[in-house]
Amino acid sequence: SDLTRSFTLFDLATPTHNNDFHIFKMNARDEINVDVRNVVLNFKGQDYQINTWQSICGTWDAASGLVQLWVDGKPSSMKFATNSHIHGIMLIVLGQDQDSYGGSFDKARSFVGMISDMHMWDYVLSPIYIYRYSQKFTFPGGNVLNWNSIDFHITDRVLIQEEQHL
């Protein structure tokens, strides 16, 4: 993407928490927020680049409450959010923030760009698997969401195409 404004990459909402797990790129080039159960954690000093394919991974260990952000296989510091668990029916939206469960979308904070290979696990991956994923090596596909088996619901102007290799 060439966006320099704030936008959402990933949003998981439940009826009780509109940001149960949310990855939000801030206006500042080096800041990305990870929200867990509506607790906002700001990660500064990230090497986010416009118009560049990047791997962005947010991890949360529900047992310990620790959250970490990984950009291109490089970890941030760990921060504490909450050691509770996600309950209820999950709605996941890529590229748009759910300000309420399944709705209240704000076009001004939507993602415009390309997203690929989004996976989600119900456990925290080891650092080596996160690095392997970021480098496009072999890694275990998501056991909650797997990019290769997602049933997409397309709204408005969305194009799904095969990844282009140079």
**Tens of each residue's pLDDT in the chain, 166 residues:** 888 889 999 999 989 888 889 999 998 788 999 999 989 999 998 888 888 888 899 999 989 999 999 999 899 999 998 888 887 888 888 888 887 676 777 777 788 888 888 888 888 888 888 888 888 777 778 888 888 787 776 767 776 666 665 5
pLDDT at 130: 87
Q: How far is CA 161 from CA 14, 116, 117, 130, 141, in A?
A: 29, 10, 12, 25, 20
Question: Hey, what CATH topology would domain 7-149 get?
Answer: Jelly Rolls (2.60.120)
pTM of the model: 0.85
Three-state secondary-structure class, residue 82: coil
Three-state secondary-structure class, residue 31: coil
According to DSSP, the residues that pair with 23 across neighbouring strands are 10, 34
pLDDT at 24: 93
End-to-end CA distance of the chain: 18
Three-state secondary-structure class, residue 67: strand
Do 88 and 12 contact (CB within 8 A), yes or no?
Answer: no
Domain limits, the chain: 7-149
Do 40 and 87 contact (CB within 8 A), yes or no?
Answer: no
Question: What is the amino acid identity at position 139?
Answer: F
Q: Which two tokens stand for residue 23?
A: 């990855």
pLDDT at 70: 92
Question: In Å, how far from its chain's centre is CA 111?
Answer: 12
Do 119 and 143 contact (CB within 8 A), yes or no?
Answer: no
